[in-house]
């Protein structure tokens, strides 16, 4: 597990270890190339190589396009798209040598359908889908699959703070009439990382309750 906030990850790692699972925490800032290289090197030193990579970064700096600051555009693209690309570059050599690997990029329904006030976020998540397809074509002959998962509205700490009327409007737009759960997104990631998905690459798996078809 990797993130900028190591304390929060350590707490989660403690919960996993208490249940008998293994957990390894590393500090990683996807907006900083040096941090990406250091984190990849630390994981490789601990485990020998990285077989499965899940790019789950996602920051927002929302605002209407005509008022959006370049710094807000740059920050979102750097963390959500460029950082993921640089991390993929770090893991590909070992995956190619081993002739096995799984790369799963977490995109968003916003990257497929767009969303007012989120031109930067939508661009970054749409870019992940295009990047996924391109690298999937490059790596297919090496048995390295590259796929994306595009969640819709998911019950998270962020969505919990939304006003009731906003939540009601969100749910009303979803054919299944409910938001998704983190476990449902995790199940999609787990499937794409498994041998059962060995013949799937360059695909975007929607987990959105029918919000975008």
Catalytic sites, residue numbers: 121
Name the CA dihedral angle for 73, 89, 99, 21, rounded to a multiple of 10 degrees.
-70
Check if the beta carbon of residue 124 is closer than 8 Å to that of residue 84: no
Q: What share of the chain is helix, strand, coil (3-state, %, to 5)?
A: 55, 15, 30
Phi and psi, residue 26, nearest 5°? -140, 140
Residues 6+ apart with CB under 8 A from 178: 171, 209
> What crossing angle do the helices spanning 83-98 and 119-139 adopt, rounded to 10°?
10
């Amino acid at each position: 597990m990797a993130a900028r906030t190591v304390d929060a990850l350590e707490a989660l790692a403690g919960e996993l270890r208490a249940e008998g699972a293994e957990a390894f925490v590393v500090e990683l800032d996807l907006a900083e190339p040096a941090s990406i290289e250091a984190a990849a090197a630390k994981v490789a030193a601990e485990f020998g190589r990285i077989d499965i990579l899940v790019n789950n970064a996602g920051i927002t700096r929302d605002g209407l396009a005509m008022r959006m600051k370049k710094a807000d555009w740059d920050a979102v693209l750097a963390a959500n798209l460029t950082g993921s690309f640089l991390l993929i570059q770090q893991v590909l050599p070992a995956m190619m040598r081993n002739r096995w690997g799984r790369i799963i990029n977490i995109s968003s329904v916003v990257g497929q359908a767009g969303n007012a006030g989120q031109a930067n976020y939508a661009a970054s998540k749409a870019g992940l889908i295009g990047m996924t397809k391109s690298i999937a074509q490059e790596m297919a002959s090496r048995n390295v699959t590259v796929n994306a998962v595009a969640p819709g509205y998911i019950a998270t700490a962020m969505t919990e703070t939304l006003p009731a009327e906003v939540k009601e409007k969100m749910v009303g737009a979803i054919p299944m009439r409910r938001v998704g759960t983190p476990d449902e997104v995790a199940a999609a990631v787990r499937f794409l990382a498994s041998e059962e998905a060995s013949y799937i690459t360059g695909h975007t798996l929607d987990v959105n309750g029918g919000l975008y078809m």
